[in-house]
Amino acid sequence: MSLSTTFTPSSHKRYPAPDVARGFMLLLIALANITFWVQITTGRAVVSQADQIWLFLRTALIDHRAYPLFSMLLGFGLSVMATNRYNAARKEASSKLNPLPEGSGDITLAVQEMAIDEYATTKAFRLLMRRGWWMLLIGAIHCMFFIGDIIGTYAAGILIFAILIVKNRQKTILIIGMVIAAINWILMSAVSYVIKYFPEIIPKGANDIGGTFDYSPVGILTRSWMGLVSPLGLIMTPIVLCIALGVYIHRSGIMENPWLHRTFLLRTAAGGLTLAVAMSIPQGMHVAQYWADPAPWWAYVVTEIGGVFGALGWLALLTVWAGPAPEDGELRGARWFFAMVGRRSMTVYLGQTVLFIAIFAYINANGAPVPAILQALIAFLVWFVLALGCVALEHAGKRGPFEWLLRTLVARSEKPYEFVDPTLPAESHPSSAQ
């Protein structure tokens, strides 16, 4: 069994848009996730005018937009991985076919083709499943330290929909994703309505986690179950829909050839981001404290729905900016910088948790308030420090440590599975040679 940790052929042309988009997306995630860490502090800052402007912009362009973008890029990456493994397995199986004698009928050729397709599909499916199980474990461990973990949720999505991705049943995944998202939004609307008009049935302090997150060994172990349970709950969100959109985007070839679709992408960027901003206005005005009265009960749900449009807008804009693969294969400038981060997305994502824990342990110990503008600065610096680490790894010719770990685990857990030409005599099959 090969222990190679490379799942793409050496001749595969790497297009910059996915890597550039992942790098930028990780900045958005840092800006979005820092709100959790602020909630577990005891200090509360007075909101300034600058804070208000930032809070509105964050609600409009980042909150509930970063993770849908992450999900689309995950779907894109899974589709690329499955396609590459499927094609490589087909090539491998074709090279092992027994030469057919002249006059062999179409039925014999069809039997061989079915065997090749089954072998290639199985190889690609097993790859995604192994990756999903290992990601579930990594996500469960991460969830002990950050209950907003998304790796485990993505793992659950991979395990449930792997066969549909491999078989290119993108319409089926899309329909399932739309149904799940619709159910989620309906339930979310119902909860928002109840909270608005029947607040007495909501337990006091149900949403207050300020200063209570326990990082002692007992607290960490107590949360271990959440890493296995929360992914199943989070699957009931627009995540599946966004993964399906990512698969569709890969199959369409738009990100590989952005200049052929430049007008469409620019219109999508303008339309998606405009809708995201417009649909967030009621919630944004409330979060930024421009409105003294509570937001309408439907404001949060509409903002959430706008996140899908916003993610599409961001992805389209970043795809245009990244452009096609350079003739010499080398990106330069800011695009290169973002791409280096994007190629090490798991390392940067998990690294953010490590740095946020260290920073907010100090802040919480001192009881210092963290204004919204300072939150943004801290989030940017966390991302930037990790980005510099990615650049150093690139110059050293190394992957991110967690990318290396995941690839190694996936490769080393592969079980032997050999192609058998169905036209060979039974005694010639490898399984019969004892």
DSSP 74-95: HHHHHHHHHHHHHHHHHHHHHH
In a domain? residue 411: yes
In a domain? residue 422: no
In a domain? residue 427: no
pLDDT of the residue at 426: 53
pTM of this structure: 0.88
Taking the C-alpha atoms of residue 107 and residue 2, their distance in angstroms, rounded to an integer, is 33
Taking the C-alpha atoms of residue 148 and residue 64, their distance in angstroms, rounded to an integer, is 13
Q: CA 143 → CA 74, 228, 349, 378, 408, distances in Å? A: 19, 9, 12, 22, 22
HEC states along 140-182? HHHHCCCCCCCHHHHHHHHHHHHHHHHCCCHHHHHHHHHHHHH
In a domain? residue 3: no
Give the number of domains in the chain: 1
Identity of residue 372? A
In a domain? residue 186: yes
| Tokens of residue 246, six digits | 């990512």
| Residue pLDDT, tens place only, 93-143 | 888 877 765 656 666 778 888 889 999 999 999 999 999 999 999 998 998
pLDDT of the residue at 5: 40
| Residue pLDDT, tens place only, 401-426 | 999 999 999 999 999 888 877 766 55
**Which range is least confidently modeled, 12-26, 83-97, 223-237, 376-390?**
223-237
pLDDT of the residue at 319: 95
CB neighbour class for 362 (10 Å; exposed up to 12, middle 13-18, buried from 19): exposed
The whole-angstrom distance between residue 363's C-alpha and the CA centroid of its chain comes to 29
In a domain? residue 14: no
Round the average pLDDT of the chain to a whole number and report it.
86
Q: What mean pLDDT is predicted for residues 259-272?
A: 95
In a domain? residue 423: no
Task: Give the domain extent around 293.
Answer: 20-98+106-416
In a domain? residue 172: yes
**In which residue are the tokens 């799940």 written?**
180
**In which residue are the tokens 């973002």 written?**
338
